[in-house]
């Protein structure tokens, strides 16, 4: 009897090494694949759903402080080190990979208002309510050694904020005025005042390292050049800004966190009108920090949520909250752009993923490719209603959900009223003011 067998040459289908790509005989002629769009759509839908399934952003909570966490500082050279200062004057140094506190020191009496690590990572500065600036060693003191600051500077007034220069031994503080200090001297090398009684934050520009920005209590944002004797310019807004943060990749953009629930991104050359108004919070925004890639920023709010905004989007792409997290006072984006750290009122520091559904750790090449492909699919079909609905859905605490609704109603009512007024008045008497222009009162030269 004759047995028919298929015979094939193994050369046609066996890989030479296991690292080779599997050879798949395939005809790419598009006429042979009439259903490519529906198939990709299905894949995109599945990818979107899986993204929501795997979105587990919360990684860890670091507890140990005995009062609310008031300030955070990233280590400039080590990714796993975090510093936090609390409202009782205690500073803690954390090891993030072990998720434990490695060092505690009583830095000030009263609040630790500001904290910053020197650019070399060997020491850090703190300012407190006790009118002092202290410089501390980053190393833990040896056995028997006392925890003492390297330097202490006694100021005349309370310092409320602190930032260090990117490359030189110069730092800036703010309080009644903005002071620039040399590390070697006990008096400021320069003081800036402009008829304001108190500042809440000061930040060096990380790219144009001689520029500074500060937020003042007269609802203004003031810009300085360290080399000049006078401030540069100031913009007065409708409400007070709490902090600002410069974009680390684009020298002239900064974003400020405002009391009116919004964030504003400005071009420092054109302060008359913000580039973008970022809305979504339902209470005052307390802190903001840019991703080191400069593509996104994260904001902390009094409404107990953390939100992530794309640099050029008006609304957030992500909102993080937990049941136990109270008002978020301070926020930092880690310097490898993968994590977010938030310090809140209820004495905890929380570690979040920057991309909620991202798989952490080392990925196999195939995993990477698959992730890239699904990401592109999601982008490609992002405008399709089902996919958009699933991708945008977030669970919110009831209070925030309702408050969002309420705010929307209020906003609509205001707009309606304005429209009605315009309709019943002389043409041109009630001009249309855009949302961006609404929040700037004046620019003072």
Smallest separation, CB 424 to another protein (Å): 32
C-beta of 374: minimal distance to another protein in Å?
Answer: 9
DSSP assignments along 65-131, one per residue: -SS-EEEEEE-SS-TTEEEEEETTSEEEEEETTTTEEEEEEE--SS-EEEEEE-TTSSEEEEEETTS
Element housing 415 (H / E): helix 398-423
Instruction: Give min distance, CB of 66 to another protein, in A.
Output: 31
Q: Of 416, 301, 393, whose CA–CA distance to 52 is shortest?
A: 393
Nearer to another protein, 69 or 223 (CB): 223
The residue ranges that bind another protein (CB under 8 A) are 2, 4, 7, 9, 11, 21, 26, 28, 30, 33, 36-37, 39-41, 43, 76-77, 79, 166, 206-208, 211, 223, 225, 228-233, 248-252, 268-269, 292-295, 335-338, 361-362, 369, 372-373, 375-377, 380-381, 383-386, 445
Shortest gap between Cβ of 135 and another protein (angstroms)?
Answer: 22
Give the position of tokens 């002071």. Answer: 179
Residue 382 beta carbon to another protein: minimum distance, rounded to whole angstroms? 8
315 or 376: whose CB is closer to another protein?
376
Distance between CA atoms of 137 and 117, rounded to whole angstroms? Answer: 10
Instruction: Select 30 or 144, whichever has its Cβ closest to another protein.
Output: 30
Residue 343, SS3 per DSSP: strand
Distance separating alpha carbons of residues 85 and 83, to the nearest angstrom: 7
Whole-angstrom distance, CA of residue 336 vs CA of residue 76: 11
CB of 4 to another protein, least distance (A): 6
Please, which residue, 109 or 272, has the CB nearer to another protein?
272
Q: How far is residue 63's CA from residue 44's CA, in Å, rounded to a whole number?
A: 40
Taking the complex as a whole, how short is the minimal distance between the CB of residue 292 and another protein, in angstroms?
4
Q: Strand 112-117 and strand 123-128: pairing?
A: antiparallel
**Token pair listed for 73:** 């500082």
Please, which residue, 129 or 250, has the CB nearer to another protein?
250
Rounded least distance, CB 338 to another protein, Å: 7
Dist CA 219 CA 264 (whole Å): 13
Smaller CB distance to another protein: residue 29 or 146?
29
- Identify any residues that bridge with 104 across adjacent strands, giving them in sequence order: 92
Q: Which is nearer to another protein, 1 or 154 (CB)?
A: 1
Q: By C-beta, is 191 or 425 nearer to another protein?
A: 191
Q: Where do the H-state alpha helices sit in 269-397?
A: 365-380, 385-392
């Amino acid at each position: 009897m004759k047995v028919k067998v298929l015979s094939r040459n193994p050369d046609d289908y066996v890989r030479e090494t296991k690292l080779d790509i599997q050879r798949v005989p395939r005809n790419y002629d598009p006429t042979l694949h009439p259903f490519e769009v529906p198939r990709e759509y299905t894949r995109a839908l599945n990818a979107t759903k899986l993204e929501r399934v795997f979105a587990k952003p919360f990684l860890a909570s670091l507890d140990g402080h005995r009062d609310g966490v008031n300030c955070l500082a990233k280590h400039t050279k080590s990714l796993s080190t975090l510093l936090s200062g609390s409202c009782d004057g205690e500073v803690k140094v954390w090891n993030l990979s072990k998720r434990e506190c490695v060092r505690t020191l009583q830095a000030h009496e009263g609040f630790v208002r500001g904290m910053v690590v020197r650019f070399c990572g060997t020491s850090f500065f703190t300012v407190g309510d006790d009118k002092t600036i202290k410089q501390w060693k980053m190393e833990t003191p040896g056995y028997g050694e006392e925890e003492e600051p390297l330097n202490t500077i006694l100021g005349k007034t309370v310092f409320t904020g602190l930032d260090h220069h990117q490359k030189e031994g110069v730092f800036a503080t703010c309080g009644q005025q903005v002071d620039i200090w040399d590390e070697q001297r006990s008096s400021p090398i320069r003081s800036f005042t402009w008829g304001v009684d108190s500042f809440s934050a000061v930040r060096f520009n990380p790219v144009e390292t001689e520029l500074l920005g500060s937020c003042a209590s007269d609802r203004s944002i003031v810009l300085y050049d360290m080399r000049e004797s006078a401030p540069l310019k100031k913009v007065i807004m409708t409400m007070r800004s709490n902090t600002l943060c410069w974009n680390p990749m684009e020298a002239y953009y900064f974003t400020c966190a405002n009391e009116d629930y919004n964030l504003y991104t400005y071009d420092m050359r054109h302060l008359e009108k913000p580039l973008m108004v970022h809305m979504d919070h339902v209470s005052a925004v307390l802190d903001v920090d840019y991703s080191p890639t400069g593509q996104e920023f994260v904001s902390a709010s009094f409404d107990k949520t953390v939100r992530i905004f794309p640099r050029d989007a008006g609304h957030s792409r992500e909102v993080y909250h937990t049941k136990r997290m109270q008002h978020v006072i301070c926020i930092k984006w880690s310097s490898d752009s993968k994590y977010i750290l938030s310090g809140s009122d209820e004495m905890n520091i929380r570690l979040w993923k920057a991309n909620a559904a991202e798989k952490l750790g080392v990925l196999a090449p195939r995993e990477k490719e698959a992730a890239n492909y699904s990401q592109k699919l999601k982008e490609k079909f992002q405008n399709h209603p089902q996919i958009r609905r699933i991708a945008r859905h977030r669970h919110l605490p009831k209070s925030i959900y309702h408050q969002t609704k309420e705010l929307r109603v209020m906003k609509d009512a205001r707009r309606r009223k304005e429209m009605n007024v315009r309709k019943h008045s002389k043409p041109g008497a009630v001009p249309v003011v855009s949302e961006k222009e609404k929040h700037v009162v004046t620019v003072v030269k």
